[in-house]
Amino acid sequence: MEQINHQEKINASEYGIIWSQYVNDSMSRCVLRYLLNDAKDEDTRALLQFALQLSETHIERTKQFLTQENYPIPIGFTDEDVTVNAPSLFTDTFKVVYLQIMTIHGLTRYAGATSVSIREDVRKYLIECTSQTLELYDRVTTVALSKGILSKPPTLNNKQKIDFIRKQNYLTGWFGKRRPINAIEISGAHLNMQKTMVKMVLELVFSQVCQSKEVREYFERARKLCKRHFHILGLMLEEENLHEPRIFESEVTDSTVPPFSDKLMLFHIATLLSAALGYYGEALSMSQRRDLSADYARMNMEIALIAEDGMNLLIENGWIEQPPLATEHQDLAKDK
């Protein structure tokens, strides 16, 4: 039987993963350098230094993969997209919160990337990235807990018992008596509120410092939508007298000096909004009450539309690189 060599050319999935990671980590490097520059708390500085080290390592590793395959290196984000010594926009408290949420995004991305990677060296690299990001998450969570920053999910203090669902009205959401929200649904609402809160803070700050009127108006629209979603998610918890995550909009300064290019800020928000589709979708799939599922379905549609508007704005300004494409064989045939 012929032995198959899995160390051949990287496949399209692996190429897309490596290409995207280079772009995303080049953005992270810019953001982390700025956040680190004026961080005063020693624990926060240590977290940011570790995160920056990971981003720089990932940039070099992905560059090696692309070079070995004779693929071009994306432009991504460079020193031109950041002014490291710009006045501070965030307190050290929010920097820890931001780092925790971005680490959650990283863990989700690496798990999905590993599941579609075949070549051994790519798989091992992504597993290594996952391990490093888990370490970062553990460090960030430890610091956030020690400083009283972390918004812990609600605790269920009632007596629990083992039981089975026996009636269809367990799924009821609009009519009749609704059952209390369950622990799985609480988890989805709380996580999505935390992620939405970080977007709200970034949208507030970016609208404060961006140069383009059109981009500023987009940030304001996105923030308005995120605030409404935060309220909808909060009602899921509030009706059961469960606490909501803390809001960190007060951890923003009054600086109007932009530390980042409009290109970087718009890309950051547009990609976070796009990522919300996955998190809303997962929460929807785990919700067993019809009204909660309907809320997620509606929010998913709204977030998809505004994320598309962000991508269109990036395209109009020539700020977004085209991912690798398959060959257009029809066009090649026409050229003959």
Please list the residues that pair with 252 across neighbouring strands: 90
**Quick one: 203 and 275 in the same domain?**
yes
* 199-225 tens-digit pLDDT: 999 999 999 999 999 999 999 999 999
pLDDT value at 5 more than 90: no
Position 28 in a domain: yes
Domain ranges, residue 282: 180-317
Q: Which among 81, 67, 62 has a CA at the least distance from the CA of 122?
A: 62
- Choose between 183 and 328: higher pLDDT: 183
**Quick one: 308 and 190 in the same domain?**
yes
Contact 192, 303 (CB under 8 A): no
pLDDT value at 100 more than 80: yes
Contact 248, 201 (CB under 8 A): yes
pLDDT value at 324 more than 70: yes
Tokens 């009706």 sit at which residue?
239
User: 172 falls in which pLDDT band (50, 70, 90)?
Assistant: low
DSSP 3-state of 90: strand
**Quick one: 82 and 184 in the same domain?**
no
Q: What is the mean pLDDT of the chain?
A: 90
Position 76 in a domain: yes
Which pLDDT value is given to residue 31?
98
Which pLDDT value is given to residue 160?
66
HSE on the CB side for 216, CA within 13 Å?
9
Give mean pLDDT, residues 255-261. Answer: 96
* 33-80 tens-digit pLDDT: 999 999 999 999 999 999 999 999 999 999 999 999 999 999 999 999
| Domain CATH number, residue 50 | 1.20.1260.10
Which pLDDT value is given to residue 332?
62
